[in-house]
Structure 1
Amino acid sequence: MPETRFEVDVDSEPDEQPGSNPFNRWHPDIPATVEADPGETMRLEALDWTGGQIRDNDNANEVRDVDLTQVHYLAGPVHINGAEPGDLLKVEFLDMGPLNERSEFGFAGTFSQQNGGGFLTDHFPRAAKSIWDLDGYTVSSRHVPDVRYQGKIHPGLAGCAPSQELLEEWNEREQELVDKHREDPESIHNHPTGEKEPPVANLPTSEGALMGEMDSEEAEKAAEEAARTVPPREHGGNHDIKDLSIGSTVYFPVYVDGGKFGVGDFHASQGDGEINFCGAIEMAAYIDLKFDLVKDGMDKHGIDHPIFEPGNRGPAFEDYVTFCGYSVTEDGDQHYIDPHVSYRRACLQAIDYLKKFGYTGQQALHILGTVPVEGRHSGVVDVPNACSTLALPKGAFDFDISPESFGNDKDRGDLSITDDPLT
């Protein structure tokens, strides 16, 4: 087993870790806490993305009340000796898993429309929570009965630190997006139904910022411009790609000396799209990594974004029920080659289908967010409709979900859901 070079205590606050504190912002000046040579292998541990705000209970208010200024908590940064701007950092994901005996559960959540919402927030505006038991790589939930499968484990978030120039570019373009939306809300990305939507970007804020081991006075100033870890960007970041599982190799662009690699937001499993925002089975976890360098790799290979070679670890599903969606909203509004709308419709079709087997809409939403469903933009050429598909694996269920099995609609309970009125 590789040496653990970054260790966490799940019973301590993120900023009160017995060793080095994690970090939850991207900034070139956050100091590295771990050093690695090219070719070296090590183990890193990470808290769950909320830093322990959600616990193993039936209280959905914990999801409703999560402080989203704090997330995500990343292990590192790791300084790779010899890494220079323009290189590619090659990272092999050798192994990963839950922190056995310290934290053996995961959680999924539907976020309240008042706290960020999500992909289908207009249909599911209230917060909900499901707890998942982690038995090795196999997952099951008391809140979603008759679903048990081997998860597609992966880190949702990994990447290198941005340069100061890249950081300023991020902040400038995201500020422009927010300003544009504020001036003309009809100009960009409203939900198809016209309901209240989540913010279009998360701009820097010092509130909730944890800048690793940076000096407190310096950290306060840097946090005012440090980038949130919420989206993916050129350096990597929060891609939430379920196929970056055990055996994967990722090539990250290097923008600062040493790379300053960080990783976290681990998922025991996830469906394509992570459609209920906190859609994956979130957990505290370890990862075993091997680092190497491709000198001048960005120029040699024409790469300024990460690329990856997926591993083969994960469930071997063979049979699926597949749902189609097109660029027409639930209200009959025609859009032009809009895969966002078409994937929504495929997801809603699958939710309605699962309700025929006795699941509630919230349970079905959590199934699609956690089971490794296969989402595809299958056609973007035939005007006016894009065609998106969602393939739901039959093998994740303890019963047959084929259309010929309709009538298996026993009472399957429900999730923990807040019942307080929306304001």
Structure 2
Amino acid sequence: MPEVLFPLDSQKSFTEQEKLGHNRWHPEIPPVATVKPGDSFRVECREWFDGAIRNDDSAEDIRDAPLNSVHTLSGPFSVKGAKPGDLLIVDILDIGPIPQEEGPLAGQGWGYTGIFAQNNGGGFLTEQFPDAYKAIWDFSGQTATSRHIPGVSFTGMVHPGLMGTAPSADLLKTWNKREGDLIATDPQRVPPLALPPEPDSAILGGVPGGEFSRVSSEAARTAPPRENGGNQDIKNLTKGSRVFYPVFVEGGKLSVGDLHFSQGDGEITFCGAIEMGGYIDLHVDIIPGGMETYGVSENAIFMPGRTDPQYSEWLAFSGTSVTLEGEQRYLDSQLAYQRAILHAIDYLTTFGYTPEQAYLLLGAAPIEGRFSGVVDIPNSCATVYIPTEIFDFEVRPTADGPTQVSGGMPVPTAANPAL
């Protein structure tokens, strides 16, 4: 096993650990360790809410989830010799839940998927699903099953939802300016258009106390993907993947967290993956001057691993860029994907699933989302592919009609407080 450079004790909170991670992006957060090109090492990661979500049959914890505190990131790790303009090569050697542990933390034999309340994050279909819901998934080897969504089991595509390098001071200013300008167009929107810097609940690693107030007022939230990689939620970043990250500061300052046991394309419920804590083994190297050499001025590029479950049969649903009210939109691929997801939800309800069960399933299972047609005005066409092998029953249309699922228990819910 590689050396553990960021250990976590499951009996302690994230801020009580031997090494302190962070939950904001800022170039002045100092590294927790320095590695050399060619090194391999293990990083332990806490579930993104640091244990706030429980293995129970209530969704009040999802409704009240402390968004100001996410994500709990392990790092940063400085790579000796990495300079701005380089590409940092990161290989995912291994990844999984918390080894040899069962207990109250996500990753200790279980994980969860949540639909967030509209006034606390929302989701891809927040107008249709404004309340909070939760599904608990149990792990058996590589397989996930849920007492809240009967009749399905699938092999997890374990991956980090979030990994990236630190921004430069100039890049951080760019993020804050453009996202602040967006917020200003509709500052009262629920959910908000973007998340500005927020000192409340900020964790900044080893930033000195005298600088904490300034840095926390500048540091960017970790919610969106950006030029540094960040919260990309790419389900194919599995074991065996190689990622090429732009380097913006000396040492690169690589951080990682938000591990997922499985996820469908889009992480559509916002907490749409099966969230967990666990470990990830990494190998790093450098391509000097790689950003200019390969035209990578922003955003990571990657080579996916080859350990994905191999499904051979799919049931696909399509959608076009027409709203539920019948309004035509011009080549709106985002809307088309929403409609494809809604069509899949409608279909699954004919088998006895509630809409919430179907929505949670599509967020957690390894569905494939595709922009299938983006040129034929005025309608984009998006599709969602569901592997039929994940169901314990015949899910394809037949002359006998849909089988009715049985067993399981209701999906926990918590009503959305008044907006």
TM range (shorter): over 0.9
Find the aligned partners of 1:225 and 1:151 in 2 and give their Cα distance.
Answer: 37
Find the aligned partners of 2:215 and 2:8 in 1 and give their Cα distance.
Answer: 24
Find the aligned partners of 2:190 and 2:374 in 1 and give their Cα distance.
Answer: 25
C-alpha root-mean-square deviation of aligned residues, in Å? 1.3
Residue 159 in structure 1 maps to residue 164 in structure 2: yes
SS at match of 1:325: strand
Native 8 Å contact 1:42 1:290 kept in 2: yes
| Correspondence for 2:104 | none
Native 8 Å contact 2:119 2:190 kept in 1: no
- Choose which of 113, 128, 143 in structure 2 pairs with 1:123: 128
| Correspondence for 2:309 | 315
Report the CA distance between 1:153 and its aligned residue: 0.8
SS at match of 2:203: coil
- Choose which of 97, 101, 117 in structure 2 pairs with 1:112: 117
Report the CA distance between 1:218 and its aligned residue: 1.6
Q: 1:411 to 1:390 in 2, by over 3 A?
A: same
TM-score by length of 2: 0.95
| Correspondence for 1:189 | none
How does 1:90-239 map onto structure 2 within 5 Å?
Answer: 90-102=89-101, 103-182=108-187, 197-239=190-232
Residue 26 in structure 1 maps to residue 25 in structure 2: yes
Find the aligned partners of 2:210 and 2:125 in 1 and give their Cα distance.
Answer: 41
Native 8 Å contact 1:359 1:411 kept in 2: no
Find the aligned partners of 1:181 and 1:422 in 2 and give their Cα distance.
Answer: 19
| Correspondence for 2:76 | 77
Report the CA distance between 1:85 and its aligned residue: 0.4
- Choose which of 271, 291, 307 in structure 2 pairs with 1:298: 291
Find the aligned partners of 1:64 and 1:85 in 2 and give their Cα distance.
Answer: 41
| Correspondence for 1:416 | 412
Find the aligned partners of 1:211 and 1:96 in 2 and give their Cα distance.
Answer: 25
Native 8 Å contact 1:161 1:261 kept in 2: yes
- Choose which of 268, 272, 286 in structure 2 pairs with 1:275: 268
Native 8 Å contact 1:6 1:44 kept in 2: yes
Q: 1:141 to 1:410 in 2, by over 3 A?
A: closer
Report the CA distance between 1:134 and its aligned residue: 1.6
Report the CA distance between 1:141 and its aligned residue: 0.9
Report the CA distance between 1:181 and its aligned residue: 2.8
| Correspondence for 2:7 | 7
Find the aligned partners of 1:252 and 1:406 in 2 and give their Cα distance.
Answer: 49
Report the CA distance between 1:3 and its aligned residue: 1.3
Q: 1:216 to 1:330 in 2, by over 3 A?
A: same
- Choose which of 382, 386, 394 in structure 1 pairs with 2:388: 394
Code of the residue aligned with 1:386 in structure 2: it is S
Report the CA distance between 1:369 and its aligned residue: 0.1
Percent identity between matched residues is 47
Native 8 Å contact 2:63 2:416 kept in 1: no
| Correspondence for 1:381 | 375
Report the CA distance between 1:78 and its aligned residue: 0.3
Segments of structure 2 that go 5 or more residues without pairing to the other structure are 102-107
* Deviation digits for residues 375-415 of structure 1 (CA, Å, limit 9, x no counterpart): 00100000100000000100111111101163312345421
Find the aligned partners of 2:405 and 2:305 in 1 and give their Cα distance.
Answer: 38
| Correspondence for 1:60 | 59
Native 8 Å contact 1:356 1:406 kept in 2: no
